[in-house]
Homo-oligomer: A and B are copies of this chain.
Amino acid sequence: MNNAGSIDVRAAASAAREASRTLATLPTDAKNALLRDLATAIRAHAPLVRAANEADLNAARESGLPDAKLQRLALSDAAIEQLARGIEQVASLPDPVGQVTEERTVSSGLLVRRVRMPLGVIAMIYEARPGVTLDAFALCFKSGNAVLLKGGRESARTNAALAALAIDLLAHHQLPAAVLTDLTPISREQVAHLLTLNDLIDLVIPRGGESLIRAVVETSRIPTIQHYKGVCHIYVDREADATDHWAKPIRVCVTAKTSAPATCNAAECVLVDQAIADAFVPALVRAMHAASVQVRCDAMSERIARAAGLDVVAANDADFGFEFLDRILALKVVAGVDDALAHIARHTSNHTEAILTQNRATADRFVAGVQSSCVLVNASTRFNDGFQLGLGAEIGISTSRLHAYGPMGLEELTTRRFVVVGDHQTR
């Protein structure tokens, strides 16, 4: 296990920058071979990783880490196998580096191409979730980027064991060790220093709770991709599919809330068109209650639910625009699509919004009026996910509009430069 005092952050970033030059031109086959070897190594050394994780867990239990955090810290055999499979999956994806995304001959006769290249050096700052360590390394490596990994301190032993597997393979494949640097042991002050090194690091990706992300954004002089939170809305329009007492819209709403309530793409608020509220609200509340979801109602939906004999909770203002991350739903009746848009404009987290309607014009109006990273028509908000949207991978979901907006896969870990071929043109 590394010692924080022994890590020179600038030297580490500088070595990563140097290593990124080698990585930038590494052939796809060489990258894939290392990734497949890494998956094999993870399986072969699972007991070693488990032992390191047990040591982290014991220390964390002793220091009184809450249960939810202990669960994130734990790396089960199943999770280790899942990690190995994820890395094999990254190996099988197309390599974005070198892709020509545009090509034109301009009037001077120059042949102008835009060609994808790696960003260079990426720093990931995340909580004590050790799975992220090699997951992030695999995505950065495949896209040709060197990576500095700063996980939560409670996962220091597990991260060191995982990083060692990759670093051993880098040597075996004759690649510089600085392609991956585990900075988990560094101090808060060293993190702050790291975030000033904009001459050496191209991108910072913070992953974790809102406070971690805000702290990074406020300190960093390096471009940062943010994913604050997901307050996802579903608007159920008067022309939603009413077959079987709105069976389909209700199933979409219930699964969007319940299939993974703690994820950022879970629905937090359903807006119901008042034209169907008298019938739809009781049906939805019953289905939510059957799925053990507490429903917090605005005045109108509360009145309708109570009139139907349903015991709901009165919402307060703070329940709208709130990320519950739990089996709790905010419910509100709106006057129609424009009122839904006004509510969303006030409370959006720019993550995901959905409309359920059979009316194409209403759907178009909703899509035009929303500016979130993902807008869905007749589908669950849970589909805002790199795998579900066909990116093949996901390193995070950006809710800021620069560089990438929405889920980020391999392509989003690259930039595009201009490569121009001429015949001695001058100007």
A residues neighboring B (CB under 8 Å): 21, 24-25, 104, 106, 108, 110, 112, 117, 119-120, 198, 202-203, 217-218, 221, 223-224, 241, 248-249, 251-252, 255-256, 259, 345, 356, 363, 367-369, 371-380, 382-384, 388-390, 400-403, 405-407, 415-427
Contacts and interface: CB of A to CB of B under 8 A. Distances in A.
Contacts of A255: 426-427
B427 A405 contact: no
Contacts of A251: 424, 426
B120 A418 contact: no
B104 A390 contact: yes
Contacts of A389: 106, 110, 112, 418, 420
A108 to B, nearest CB: 7
B402 A371 contact: no
Contacts of A416: 405-406
Contacts of A218: 221
A20 to B, nearest CB: 9
A378 B372 CA distance: 44
B371 A420 contact: no
Given A25-B369, A106-B389, A252 B401 contact: no
Given A108-B388, A119-B402, A402-B402, A422 B345 contact: no
Contacts of A25: 368-369
Nearest to A115: B367
B424 A373 contact: no
| Residue of A120, A203, A369, A402 with most partner-chain B CB within 10 A | A402
B401 A119 contact: yes
Contacts of A400: 202, 223
B425 A379 contact: yes
A377 B113 CA distance: 12
A420 B112 contact: no
A405 B218 CA distance: 24
Given A106-B388, A371-B24, A417 B406 contact: yes
Contact of A417 (B252, B375, B382): B375
Given A24-B371, A112-B389, A406-B418, 12 more contacts: A21-B345, A110-B379, A120-B371, A120-B401, A249-B424, A259-B426, A373-B417, A378-B424, A380-B425, A382-B427, A389-B420, A406-B417
Nearest to A217: B221
| Residue of A21, A112, A223, A420 with most partner-chain B CB within 10 A | A420
A24 B388 CA distance: 27
18 contacts: A24-B368, A106-B388, A106-B389, A108-B388, A112-B390, A117-B371, A119-B401, A119-B402, A203-B401, A248-B424, A249-B424, A374-B420, A375-B418, A375-B420, A377-B422, A378-B424, A380-B427, A402-B415
